Structure 1
Amino acid sequence: MASAPPSGLPLFYNQLQPLSSSLHADYVLRQRDSVPFLAGVHAVPLTVEEFGLAQRHYPIVFSSGPNPVPLALMGLNEGVNMFVGEDGKLAGDAYIPAYVRRYPFMLAKLQPNSEELSLCFDPTSDTVGQGGEGAALFADGQPSDATKGILGFCEQFEQAGQRTAAFMQELVDLKLLIDGEVSIQPEGAPQPFIYRGFQMIAEDKLRELRGDQARKLIQSGLLALVYAHLFSLSLIRDLFARQLQAGKVPAQQPQLQV
């Protein structure tokens, strides 16, 4: 995954607090017109349900390491996001990953030995707070419609995460993932920019799958996800061109780390 907070919490989250009708009875959900927390993030986790939409806007790659996750690349260098302006507002009409839309809420275990998940939020976010304008999170001590909607979205996200993990395990079992490398030679540059530090699906290994393995991918619908990833890789050069035009390509050869 992309860089995470030193606390070990997931990307974006600084703290986690269970949402409580007694402690947060007068809290509201404020309308968000900017995403400053996303401005310095170049890679955001994706679920498999999002591949079809995300591949139109972002390169989709997989993180390095033994437990890879799909990532939408919003920039090719650490700290660079070409889809968020300096004012924290999203630029253009690019698809917003569910991981971003979920923040500052998430489902989390309150007890390590329990399987029960509770709706929590990051109290450092200004999206949720005490009083003022916004959608009430509780009404008469009960979750409001807004809170029920948030809970439903977070539950769907968790389910999508499980399906994503199953897809990634299938790629690992079939040995389809390889270390990725992209070399881009800008006009007039003395040497190419080489990006590494991510994983991708090897097309030659995909072609060499046995018939039963290929049928399983087709019948499960996973093959469509594979090709969404492969098609999206062409956007890496487009993203590099945008960074170059904006003056956000380091002078030295960079290395993408996701």
Structure 2
Amino acid sequence: MATAPQNSALPLFYKDLIPLNSQQHANWKTRSTDKATWLVGVNSVPLTVEEFPQAQRNFPIIFTSGENPVPLVLMGMNEGVNVFVDEDGTVNTPIYVPAYVRRYPFMLARLRPDAEELSLCVDPTSDLIGEIEEGEALFSGAEPSETTTNMLKFCENFEMAGSKTGNFMAELKKHDLLMDGELNIDIGNGQPFNYRGFQMVDENKLREVRGDILRQWNQNGMLPLIYAHLFSLDLVRDIFGRQMAQGKMPQPMANA
């Protein structure tokens, strides 16, 4: 159904990454756009726990399989399908756009594996950045422009939210609350669509968690986030319905 960001070389969306500096990129600008072309055909996007309350209104929230699961929103039920983004990148429905999407083509990254500091980098292959005619300058002389400073702050906040997300996932694993998920959707023709390859919170085990732990989770805000995930799964049928209406369904019985 969903895959984690490509970990082998570069994260999801990014085709290249270079660190910004005022010498090489003195004349570079960045522009805004109403076309999220990098989202075309992408059916799942990483999400931070801070975004669960907003995201659960539009998308199912699931967790990747494997030892180090991460939260994802489903924007389509099958690989290569995004029911919210048209082929030209137009977002066809008012939705919450995850921070992972909004930071592109910027991101913080380590220039060397052993480096402690993160540097603001960009994907130079994006048409949203470079020596372009219109846009906001990235540098004012040798200093970062206000635009660059604001994006740096945005990326720093994203990294902090990522740390909180890691703690949230560690707590779920500590209490063995994750289970392999399976979704079966029957459209009445006797050939159901089956979706596997993801994880979800086991509601039976959640009901067995000790009261003192539940109180702690309620006080620190973790419990509402768990329920945001669980409630969001009801939207699977909505995504499935949109995919059917758009004529983007695979053959029945296909495992996504």
Give TM class, smaller chain: over 0.9
Counterpart CA distance in 2 for 1:153 and 1:16 is 18
Q: What does residue range 1-258 of structure 1 map to in structure 2 within 5 Å?
A: 2=3, 4-5=5-6, 8-187=9-188, 189-256=189-256
**Alignment CA distance shift 1:244-1:230 (3 Å):** same
Cα RMSD over matched residues? 1.3
**What TM-score do the two structures reach when normalised by structure 2?**
0.96
**What TM-score do the two structures reach when normalised by structure 1?**
0.96
Counterpart CA distance in 1 for 2:184 and 2:139 is 53
> For residues 176-199 of structure 1, what are the alpha-carbon distances to aligned partners after superposition, in whole Å with 9 as ceiling and x for unaligned?
100001111003x22211111110
**Alignment CA distance shift 1:47-1:6 (3 Å):** closer
> For residues 107-160 of structure 1, what are the alpha-carbon distances to aligned partners after superposition, in whole Å with 9 as ceiling and x for unaligned?
011121121000000001110011411000001221000000000000000000
- Native 8 Å contact 2:22 2:141 kept in 1: no
Percent identity over paired residues: 56
**Shift in Å at residue 4 of structure 1?**
4.3
The amino acid across from 2:75 in the alignment is M
- Native 8 Å contact 2:105 2:123 kept in 1: yes
**Alignment CA distance shift 1:6-1:68 (3 Å):** closer
**Shift in Å at residue 3 of structure 1?**
5.4
Counterpart CA distance in 2 for 1:246 and 1:113 is 47
The amino acid across from 1:128 in the alignment is I
The amino acid across from 1:92 in the alignment is T
What is the total number of aligned residue pairs between the two structures?
255
**Shift in Å at residue 226 of structure 1?**
0.3
**Shift in Å at residue 255 of structure 1?**
2.0
Matched residue SS, 1:223: helix
**Shift in Å at residue 232 of structure 1?**
0.3
Matched residue SS, 1:234: helix
Dislocated runs of 4+, deviation >4 Å: 3-7
Counterpart CA distance in 1 for 2:19 and 2:87 is 32
- Native 8 Å contact 1:2 1:11 kept in 2: no
Structure 1, unmatched stretches of 5+, are none
- Native 8 Å contact 2:61 2:74 kept in 1: yes
**Shift in Å at residue 100 of structure 1?**
0.2
